[in-house]
Structure 1
Amino acid sequence: MIGRWKTSLAAQLVCFTLAALILSQGLTFIISWNERSKALDDAAKSEFFTRARTMTRLMGTVPAEYRKQALLASETSDSRFWLTDQETVDAATWRLQAVAAFSRPLEDFVDLVQVFSGHPANPQVPDAARVAATNLNEDWRTPLQNLWALPQHAKYVYFDGLRGYGLLIGLDDGQWLNAAFYPQQTGGWWTSTSLASLGVTASVLAVIGTFIANRIARPLRDLARSAEALGRGENLPPLVEEGPAEIRRTAASFNSMQGRLHRFVEDRTKMLAAIGHDLRTPLTSLRLRAEFVGNDDVQRKMLATIDEMQGMTEAAIAFTRGESTDEETRAIELEALVGSICDDQADLGRPVTYIEGRKLIYRCRPDGLRRAVRNIVENAVRYGGEANVRIRSTVSTVDIVVEDRGPGIPDELQEKVFAPFFRLETSRNRNTGGIGLGLSIARAVARQHGGDIAFSGTDTGMQATISLPRDGQVDARPARALRSWSFDSTVARAISLSKRACRSSPR
């Protein structure tokens, strides 16, 4: 889940939106709850004082034998009334009397909760232990004039913190009217209604956020795929310029860049082809003039130099054309392609061994990749005496590994060998040293596919690795048995390979 959040634009947008929603709703609830609590508390106290004033006036008009019944009839779930003959001086004692008053049930009480829901209401009763332990240093206080405008003496006290509120009023006949108020708590911030509202809002925002993020991410994903394919030399149609203005501008810029790159490669290829064509005329003229040189040794050297210049020119043009070839990228069996190259080399009598591994389908330009692998294999046979080829899969790459038994390449030259026309073989014999473009072509092809070529030493020789990105892998199939080719240049060795040995070798 964490990995998905880090890599998905939709997941991040939805998470940030929901976090902002929860934070804003929380702050709103805190502010509104404080204001609501204060307003409800002020309203409840005002109503309680009004009721207490009404009951005080009522006690002055109701006969003594009906006072108790009148008080019981006036009680609610939040308020209690009772009469005492003497003033309760100790506030702590009065608080415990209030707890006892709230502990007795209401007379003639109709439980509307039970009537409508079928479940009886559970009125909240002050806890005696908690009431006794709180408000210890608080004594009776005199209410403000605007709250108590009657001539009867009155005083008030808090209990159970600031939740409970009590009044003690001296009546004209010497009795004391006791009034206690203890509001029922309606629940916390996160009620079922608020949670349901938050859930619906979060769901709607999540759907909208996912839609918006996908609408933004889709052209970005297309752009990423097109950029990756362009880096591998694939010819792609222009991107569809849709979405927000920023995305459209990005797609338009990418299309312009792609067009400029194609035009640049095409112009370079045309220029080199023109140079190669124009060089044929002076080279032919030099060859004709060399024929009139009287010194045979000088003539031979001049013709060899002209041939080398012409060969290098043709090779450079072929190399440039090979880089710009509009070959279609398609899915192939990579094992079959590499195996066929080894088959061709083995049919020519070269010591090539191919160990088949797991079979997979890979998207590439087959002709270019075939050319790169063949160059590496031929170099291994030419300079290392033999070539052992296999395909190796890693977490991020698909590697074509070619091992030989040669002396290897010094570390300081492992990068230089990829330079065009660079040859480790110091002689000028093109039959043994070549032009010096084989590794340059191989690396160009590997990099066009998004990979690279690297050399490393082994205990028995050198290892060349063509690393291709795993993004091109389409499907993996179960591995087949190992097969190998091993041919010797002598007929005697070919005859000595018995059929039993061929069957015993993994295929």
Structure 2
Amino acid sequence: MRPLWSRSLAAQIICFMLLALAISQGIGFLISWDERGQALRAAAKGEFFSRTASLARLIEGTPSAIHDGILRASDTSYTRFWLSTEEPRSALEWRQEAREQLAKPLPSLTKPHHDAPGPDKREPEDVSEAAAAITAAVAAPTSWVELPPAAWPLSRPAKFVYLDNSIGMGLAVRLDSGAWLNAAFAKSLHNSIWTSQSAVSLGITAAVLSLIAIGVARSIARPMRRLAGAAEALGRGETVAPLPESGPDDIRQTAEAFNRMQERLQRFVEDRTRMLAAIGHDLRTPLTTLRLRAEFVSDPDIQDKMLKTIAEMETMTEATLAFAREDATAESTRTVNLCALVESLCDDLAELGRDVTFVEGPTINYRCRPDALRRAIRNLVENAVRYGERARVRLVRTADTIDIVVEDDGPGIPNMAMEQVFAPFYRLEHSRNRETGGVGLGLSIARAIARHHGGDILLTNTHPGLRAVVSLPSFDQA
């Protein structure tokens, strides 16, 4: 079994559209990821500068006795502020100090142990994120950068350093008192754009695209199925109404091409039938003339041979016309009980004294041209009785075909002649009786009818006997 996506046009369109959606969303996510990271870093940097500048103004405007309280109140989970009397020199040493400051727990993040004798026995409740951030910061060496007054809110220069390659940063600014305000910020920002909203948005987009793909696939598949059905019916010799020439250019041009092809085929068949009818009509006149002249032949033996030859020519002419008419038959198709059709044919031949036996089979409703199919089966049954003494007929249903099997007890057919016997006017000289074998069109007509129904006739030697199988496609079953 082939997978669904390879058998269904809708599944293929959905897969390709979802693949395009995934690729486009992936590219968009990568672009947004970088832009969002830059925006987060810029926002964090601006907020850090603004907060440090505000704290510097506040300390300069308040008594020194409350500076420690102000600094502790300004600390956050990811920011620490402290004062130093000397200007920071080495960036590496300053980072180490920043790490120690950030590792100190905030009062709101501590809790006492049961065995803690005092406030000194207090540990951070959860400082793993800050510790991880400052650890990464210390691992990224760099040097101080002089920050001009125009680059941050205060009208004085400051010393700036990046703690890592991501979001960690430090700042040191000289106060009016000569002390230095130090600020350290280290936060691992989760720059994730895949959120529940993103998943919902992507799911809704995928669902909408799938519905659109189903609609597009149906709009394409519907005329294609209609074209396939019309082509199959035309191949079985049915009269097919012209396809509607509407829709997109590709579909409309396909329908137009099919309609033109059908019109040309019908015109070709009609022209050929008219030509053969005209030939048959024109041949009757010289044959009649020959018959009249043969009457004046004095030698009885010559006269008898001439009349037999003329009669054979007339028979072949009529058979040829009958074959051409059958090949271009306009009989309408309808649904019949195939088992009943074959059984009634066998009963009719049995009443005429033929040794024909029908084996009861399943009831099968089948859409066909019943008169033509009956003629094909009759030709096979009559051949079986004529050359194989008796005929046994049965119906067999398989997964793909419906087979009408005709078996006899005759000598069979040489393997090299299995295809030749279907040629018009071909007769086996030894295995067939030339006097009673007709003109050799029975199997040709039978195969033409079977092929017009989308099937074929297969011959097999059974030693002794011959098996003829009219194999019809089972998808025509109604």
Matched to 1:52, the amino acid is: T
2:319 corresponds to: 315
2:186 corresponds to: 181
C-alpha distance after superposition, 1:471-500 (max 9, x if no partner): 2012xxxxxxxxxxxxxxxxxxxxxxxxxx
Instruction: Assess if the C-alpha contact under 8 Å between 1:372 and 1:446 holds in 2.
Output: yes
Matched to 1:351, the amino acid is: D
CA drift at 1:92: 5.2
Matched to 1:16, the amino acid is: F
2:36 corresponds to: 36
Moved more, 232-241 or 392-401: 392-401
Residues 282 and 125 of structure 1, relative CA distance in 2, 3 Å threshold: farther
1:143 corresponds to: 145
CA drift at 1:140: 5.4
CA drift at 1:189: 2.6
Measured in 2, the distance between the counterparts of 1:463 and 1:35 equals: 79
1:49 corresponds to: 49
1:113 corresponds to: none
CA drift at 1:319: 1.0
Task: Give me the identity figure in percent.
Answer: 52
2:120 corresponds to: none
Q: 2:270 aligns with which of 257, 266, 270?
A: 266
* TM-score, length of structure 2 as denominator length: 0.85
Instruction: Assess if the C-alpha contact under 8 Å between 1:152 and 1:169 holds in 2.
Output: yes
> Does residue 8 in structure 1 map to residue 8 in structure 2?
yes
Matches within 5 A, 1:80-91: 80-82=80-82, 89=93, 91=95
Residues 441 and 93 of structure 1, relative CA distance in 2, 3 Å threshold: farther
Matches within 5 A, 1:375-414: 375-414=379-418
Measured in 2, the distance between the counterparts of 1:37 and 1:311 equals: 95
CA drift at 1:451: 1.1
CA RMSD of aligned residues (A): 3.1
1:364 corresponds to: 368
Measured in 2, the distance between the counterparts of 1:407 and 1:244 equals: 60
Matches within 5 A, 1:8-27: 8-27=8-27
Instruction: Assess if the C-alpha contact under 8 Å between 2:412 and 2:465 holds in 1.
Output: yes
Measured in 2, the distance between the counterparts of 1:204 and 1:378 equals: 64
Residues 419 and 98 of structure 1, relative CA distance in 2, 3 Å threshold: same
Matches within 5 A, 1:95-174: 95=99, 97-101=101-105, 105=109, 126-127=128-129, 130=132, 134=136, 137-139=139-141, 141-146=143-148, 154=159, 156-158=161-163, 162-167=166-171
Measured in 2, the distance between the counterparts of 1:169 and 1:278 equals: 121
CA drift at 1:83: 5.0
Residues 427 and 19 of structure 1, relative CA distance in 2, 3 Å threshold: closer
Unpaired segments ≥5 residues, structure 1: 107-122, 475-507
> Does residue 449 in structure 1 map to residue 453 in structure 2?
yes
Residues 295 and 207 of structure 1, relative CA distance in 2, 3 Å threshold: same
* TM-score, length of structure 1 as denominator length: 0.80
Instruction: Assess if the C-alpha contact under 8 Å between 1:56 and 1:177 holds in 2.
Output: no
C-alpha distance after superposition, 1:65-117 (max 9, x if no partner): 322332344345653434578979274564354244479539xxxxxxxxxxx
Matched to 2:337, the amino acid is: E
SS in 1 for 2:163: strand
Measured in 1, the distance between the counterparts of 2:417 and 2:272 equals: 29
Residues 78 and 401 of structure 1, relative CA distance in 2, 3 Å threshold: farther
In the comparison of the two structures, how many residue pairs are matched? 456
Matched to 1:156, the amino acid is: V
Matched to 1:142, the amino acid is: W
CA drift at 1:50: 3.3
> Does residue 466 in structure 1 map to residue 462 in structure 2?
no
CA drift at 1:336: 1.4
Matched to 1:458, the amino acid is: T
Measured in 2, the distance between the counterparts of 1:102 and 1:414 equals: 101
Instruction: Assess if the C-alpha contact under 8 Å between 2:130 and 2:188 holds in 1.
Output: no
CA drift at 1:142: 0.8
Instruction: Assess if the C-alpha contact under 8 Å between 1:82 and 1:179 holds in 2.
Output: no
1:218 corresponds to: 222
Instruction: Assess if the C-alpha contact under 8 Å between 2:384 and 2:390 holds in 1.
Output: yes
2:426 corresponds to: 422
Measured in 1, the distance between the counterparts of 2:431 and 2:133 equals: 106
Measured in 2, the distance between the counterparts of 1:267 and 1:307 equals: 27
Q: 1:299 aligns with which of 288, 294, 303?
A: 303
Moved more, 211-220 or 431-440: 211-220
Residues 152 and 69 of structure 1, relative CA distance in 2, 3 Å threshold: farther
CA drift at 1:378: 1.8
Residues 133 and 413 of structure 1, relative CA distance in 2, 3 Å threshold: farther
Instruction: Assess if the C-alpha contact under 8 Å between 1:405 and 1:461 holds in 2.
Output: yes
